[in-house]
A and B are shown apart, each in its own frame.
Chain A
Amino acid sequence: MHLTHINMQVKKKVSVDDLLNGCQQRDPRSQELLYNLLAAKMLGVCIRYSRDKAEAEDILQNGFIKVFTKISDFKGEGSLEGWIRRVIVNTAIESYRKNQRIIQGADIENGYEAIQHTFSMDQLETKDLLVMIRQLPVNYRMVFNLFAIEGYSHREISIKLGISEGASKTQLSRARDILKERLSKMEGLSYAG
């Protein structure tokens, strides 16, 4: 684990942008290097949008296939990493919209699960915060991710998710309410503990 981490760091010296040319020419070596550089980070993004790791990996896989097939569309506006991140997020949105048609909001009720750990605010780990987000009802999770973390506007979100701007705003505030409640609960628990 430690070795691979070092390996990753070394590879990062070969910058993402250096691999653009090779990937545009469909060079397998460049493609693999680019994947190795960004896979872990992008899976971190995918995890926020999915309930479990398998679902996250599916998003990552489809996202990277899109990256490699559409990389010639990248015109150098902004960083390549930023563009790849947007492709991954869009893939996550697509996946959500596809699943939404099947599930039809059945997620909202069973989305809640009591967090069993006890921990203080400063003890809160990224993992725990991720768990909180992932346990949000799926539509709240989408809006919160896109607005709070990706920085999309309500207008953009409404277009991406196919909902009204008003719905986007309400879902965001609901998501915040749930997260606040959970945080205070944990704080309380930690204080009590």
Chain B
Amino acid sequence: MQDNELDKFFAEQISDFEVEPTARVWKSIQSSICQPPVRKERALFQYWSIAASILIITAFGLWMFRPTEKIKLYVNDKGTEAISSRVDIVNPKRQTASSEIIERVSEIRETRNAHQVQIRKLSKKWKKSREELSEKLEKINYSQLSLPQFKTETDVAKNFPSLNIRPAMESSTSEVQASENGRSVRNARSSKGIQSFGDVINYVLSKVDKRKDKLIEFSNDEEGSTITGINLGVVKIKNSQAN
């Protein structure tokens, strides 16, 4: 048999040979060719879920940090109307809270006003009484000291302008006497006794500190006690005008 004949013989006999495959083959083929679309669907679902979650997160973020007009709590002369007009009307919770705040603010405002009136009254009273007191004291001092320098009304008026005494005539000796009068005033102050916190400090220091200029020196004026001198040895501050 020739080579070609052999090949031909086999080809003719075999090439049309058919065998029925088992059902398993088609099932395997089917499952593997059906996978791609399933995967596609899953991928599509995943994309959708990613997109949805991003949307939810951004929406939540926007809702949380949404721009709202700041609640400015202030009271003007027209009362609380101005406040309520500025309150965020989107959030009812916030609105009720703000109305409470408004009520409280107006309450506070009323009490504050009442207090202010009281304070004003008291301060007026206090000033009056202080003036009266100082007037009295000066009068007492004047009479007690009975210095020979105070011979005319002019002298008195110069040294105690608060008395508001209109001098009847000018004295030529007033300038010369001024320094002596100043001293007398200082004496008068030291003899006034303890009237304020500054006086307490001054008293204590006068017992402890024997220097001419004390560690700290207070003097009384209209507004109360003020520091008029500090002596730290090296640093000395003295308000000469006050004396």
Interface residues of A (CB under 8 A from B): 4, 26, 28, 31-32, 35, 39-41, 43-44, 47-48, 53, 56-57, 60-61, 64-65, 68-69, 124, 126, 129-130, 133, 144, 147-149, 173, 176, 179-180, 183
Given contacts A68-B33, A133-B10, A183-B1, contact A32 B18 (CB under 8 A): no
Partner of B19, one of A40, A64, A148, A179: A40
A60 adjacent to B10 (CB under 8 Å): no
Chain B: residues with CB nearer than 8 A to chain A? 1, 3, 6-7, 10-11, 13-22, 24-26, 28-30, 32-34, 37
Q: 15 A-B contacts, Cβ less than 8 Å apart? A: A32-B30, A40-B20, A44-B19, A57-B21, A61-B29, A65-B29, A129-B13, A129-B14, A133-B10, A149-B11, A149-B14, A176-B6, A180-B1, A183-B1, A183-B6
A30 to chain B, nearest CB (A): 12
Smallest Cβ distance from B157 to chain A, in angstroms? Answer: 122
Contact B1 A148 (CB under 8 A): no
Question: A118 CA to B19 CA in the complex, in Å?
Answer: 24
| CB of A170 to closest CB in B, whole Å | 13
CB-CB under 8 A from B25, the residues of chain A are 39, 57, 60-61, 64
Q: Which residues of A contact B24 (CB under 8 A)?
A: 57
How many angstroms between the C-alpha atoms of A69 and B37 in the bound complex? 12
Q: Are A35 and B29 in contact (CB under 8 A)?
A: yes
Chain B residues contacting A124 (CB-CB under 8 Å) are: 13
Q: Tell me whether chain A's interface is mostly helix, strand or loop, or mixed.
A: helix
Query: B68 CB to closest chain A CB, in angstroms?
Result: 55
Q: How far is the CA of A64 from the CA of B25 in the complex (A)?
A: 9
Q: Are B1 and A39 in contact (CB under 8 A)?
A: no
**B37 partner residues in chain A, CB cutoff 8 A:** 26
Distance A116 CA – B16 CA, assembled complex (angstroms): 25
The residues of B that contact A4 with a CB separation of less than 8 Å are 20
CA A28 – CA B27 in complex, angstroms?
12
Docked complex Cα distance between A129 and B12 (Å): 11
CB contacts (< 8 Å) of A41 on chain B: these are: 16, 18
The answer to whether A47 and B17 touch (CB under 8 A), given A31-B33, A133-B10, is yes
Residue of B nearest to A183 (CB): B1
Please name all residues of chain B whose beta carbon is closer than 8 Å to the beta carbon of A130 when the two chains form the complex: 14, 17
Distance in Å: Cβ of B59 to nearest Cβ of chain A: 39
Q: Cα distance A4–B20 when bound, in Å? A: 10
Most chain A beta carbons < 10 A, residue from B1, B19, B29: B19
- Whole-angstrom CA separation of A51 from B28 in the bound complex: 21
How long is the Cα–Cα vector from A126 to B37 in the complex, in angstroms?
Answer: 42
Known contacts A35-B29, A176-B7, A180-B1; 14 additional CB pairs below 8 A are: A4-B20, A26-B33, A35-B26, A43-B18, A43-B20, A47-B19, A48-B14, A57-B21, A61-B28, A61-B29, A65-B32, A130-B14, A149-B10, A176-B6
